Chain A
Amino acid sequence: MTEKKTLFQKIWDEHVIVTSPQGEDLLYADFNFINEGQSFLAFDQLRIEGRESLRPQQHLAITDHYLPTKNRERGPAGIEDKEIRNVVEMLANNSTDFALPHINMNHPKQGIAHVVGPELGFSQPGMLITCNDSHTATHGAYGALAIPIGGSNQLRHVIATQTVWLHRPKTMRVLIDGTLPESVTAKDVILTIIGKTGIGGATGYAIEYAGTAISAMSMEARMTICNMSIEAGARIGMIAPDETTFKDLSNRLMVPKGADWDKAVAYWKTLPTDDGAVFDHEIRIDATEVAPMITWGTSPEDCAPIDGLVPDPASFADVERARHVKRALDYMNLKPKTRFVDIPIDRVFIGSCVNSRIEDLRSAAAVLKGRKSVVPGMVSPGSTDVKRQAEAEGLDQIFRDAGLDWRDSGCSMCNGSNGEIVAAGERCASTTNRNFEGRQGRNAMTHIMSPSMVAAAAVAGHLADIRHTFDTPSSFSASASAVRN
């Protein structure tokens, strides 16, 4: 009998070149994505050391974090903020200097790396993919081993050697069986998981998401799940490739063609976890019990079903947790025992690498169709291709008619590094993945939720339960004319 292996173990083992005496594995990176972030430090240091890229064509630089989502026509010259423009130009120059292909701001495929990579078919089962971004696990939805790396030392190492030294993590399986109730989405599932593990609960583990609820999910939904693995503490999150994966990949640009396609699919079918393989840890979630979720605090683990109340710090037995909750409620300006659905909002944001794909935009548009948002907000599609697709379907018009800004693609208001921030003291219902203090702007308050829940909140002007939005249309029409700008 051969050894029973998990999906993770198969791909990890396939990529080990050597193991150091200290037990670190030298892993081969099939492909690496680079964003502008702090990557210029890696390039600067490589330049100082006189090093070059070993395999330039196994990298793709994608400008996403610092790009403003409007006025793209003039290129970098149109970016008002000098420092932001400088960061955008640095990645362009560094890509040229190191002969790395680059998707810059005016490229027809521009978008967020974790949306563009899968969209172009770069993210394939069995690959080891790296990127200097903590949400790299997104690509794991395709059955790839996708690992976030540090923006300077580790990125520099991958550029120079096409490899990365890592300790093998332990394995965890999150099993989600059953059918999700109506209006409950992948975002609600991953928030439920994070609520269960806590922000550090999966630290040191590679997660495999499995179960009938995962099998039933689209690739977009699977990416939403894998994306937020890091919010549970895991750098790696992945899902076994199946017919849904193959069907999605079959139309992509960079995937194998002809006889290679058949060989690839045959190989990909060998990757799923063997029956009887053992995980170091396992968590089970009953899909039928998952409800629409929102975050109320300043960490993604501070989440709960929408029909609940703001918790009372005094109700937590753990002293550290109670202290965190108290500080979080102070920051979020919330009183214990307030009904979540009574929390008013000032703004909405639909976008970011976790929820900006066409399916996300469709679900938000379905709620907003024929309705008005009573608060200002913006929609930033995950890529230029997603934008074009949404426009072909008329979704842009629905968002515009609702009073929201229809923007270009980028990381945008998820962390505001492009200058698009939530104002101090403003409360934002957001489809993003992080709600730490100051994440969307200094003293900005973030509530994370699914795209349809953000849309419902936009229409209501307060956090709202998507399950009841359509039942009570009259409660929205009264305030529908009060569109603020």
Chain B
Amino acid sequence: MQPFTVLTATAVPLEIAKIDTGMILPGRFMRRHRRPGHDYSEAFLYDLRFDEKGHPRPEFSLNQPSYSKASIVVTGADFGCGSSREGAAYAVMDYGFRALVGPSFAEIFYGNCLQNGILPVVLPELTISEIWEQLRAKPGVELTIDLPDQVLIDADGRRHPFDINPLRKDRLIHGIDDIDVTLEHKEAIIDFETTRRKAFPWLPTSANI
């Protein structure tokens, strides 16, 4: 997992509430493989970015050149609600975003983001509106998100502190995901299974299937 410390980058406004995981990763893309160079970047918010004929919607913020280098999305409330599809977080990541800023996020989606190196930042609704104004006034302007200090610095230099679970914060800063954490206990796992196999030698394996 890519570590996240301090990110200064262009932010794009996404002034829509309740963007659900079905919009983030439309169902028809869900049967696709994810490989380097062939990932979910195309699928990300496809139906918002493109019209029925597959033409980019010029009015949609993500399609505007001034936001093309954005790594931060500033979004409306309840981002990531709906189905628990874990591919939605991959789509955000594959499109190139490292941080999402919004008034609220759906719980499962929030967890999946942290699990994949994406930082969701929750700020009050009013603050989000002010940041949207800044991003509209000066398209392409940068925000800074300082995870160690738990603060977002907006385009006017104002500092907005945010909360994050200390365990998740630590893992994100060091780029360690759940598997890395678990493998710190690898010796305990091996000891456990050795003892277990001795006690219950009949436990099934699928070797002969």
A residues apposed to B, CB below 8 Å: 17-18, 21-22, 26, 28, 30-31, 38, 40-41, 44-45, 47-49, 51, 54-55, 57-60, 83-84, 86-87, 90, 100-101, 103, 109, 120-122, 124, 126-127, 150-153, 156-157, 160-163, 165, 254-256, 260-261, 263-264, 267
Closest residue on chain A to residue B85 by CB atoms:
A38
A41 touching B90 in the complex, CB below 8 Å, given contacts A161-B183, A165-B182: yes
Residues of B in contact, count (CB < 8 Å): 34
User: Of residues 164 to 209 in B, which have CB atoms within 8 Å of A's CB atoms?
Assistant: 167, 178-179, 182-183, 185-186, 188-189, 192-193, 196, 200-207, 209
Interface centre among A58, A126, A260 (most CB of B within 10 A): A58
Answer whether residue B54 sits at the interface, using C-beta atoms and an 8 A cutoff: no
Give bound CA distance, A150 to B85, whole Å.
9
The 8 A CB mask of B5-42 against A (1 = contact, 0 = none) is: 00000000000000000000000001101111000000
B residues apposed to A, CB below 8 Å: 30-31, 33-36, 84-87, 90, 112, 115, 167, 178-179, 182-183, 185-186, 188-189, 192-193, 196, 200-207, 209
> In the complex, what residues of A have CB within 8 A of residue B188's CB?
17-18
A44 touching B33 in the complex, CB below 8 Å, given contacts A51-B179, A60-B209: yes
> In the complex, what residues of B have CB within 8 A of residue A49's CB?
179
Give bound CA distance, A100 to B206, whole Å.
8
Cβ distance B194 to chain A, nearest Cβ, rounded Å: 11
Give bound CA distance, A468 to B67, whole Å.
69
Give bound CA distance, A40 to B115, whole Å.
17
Cross-chain contact B182 with A161 (CB below 8 angstroms): yes
A41 touching B34 in the complex, CB below 8 Å, given contacts A58-B205, A59-B206, A161-B189: yes
Cross-chain contact B34 with A57 (CB below 8 angstroms): no
Cβ distance B179 to chain A, nearest Cβ, rounded Å: 5
Cross-chain contact B203 with A30 (CB below 8 angstroms): yes
Interface SS, A side: mixed
Cβ distance B185 to chain A, nearest Cβ, rounded Å: 5
> In the complex, what residues of A have CB within 8 A of residue B30's CB?
38
Give bound CA distance, A468 to B209, whole Å.
46
Cross-chain contact A254 with B182 (CB below 8 angstroms): no
Cross-chain contact A83 with B31 (CB below 8 angstroms): yes
Give bound CA distance, A83 to B183, whole Å.
35
Closest residue on chain B to residue A16 by CB atoms:
B192
Give bound CA distance, A198 to B85, whole Å.
24
Cβ distance B34 to chain A, nearest Cβ, rounded Å: 4
Cross-chain contact B35 with A165 (CB below 8 angstroms): no
A41 touching B86 in the complex, CB below 8 Å, given contacts A17-B189, A18-B185, A26-B185: yes
Closest residue on chain A to residue B183 by CB atoms:
A161
A57 touching B205 in the complex, CB below 8 Å, given contacts A44-B34, A157-B178, A165-B182: yes
> In the complex, what residues of A have CB within 8 A of residue B203's CB?
30-31, 124, 127
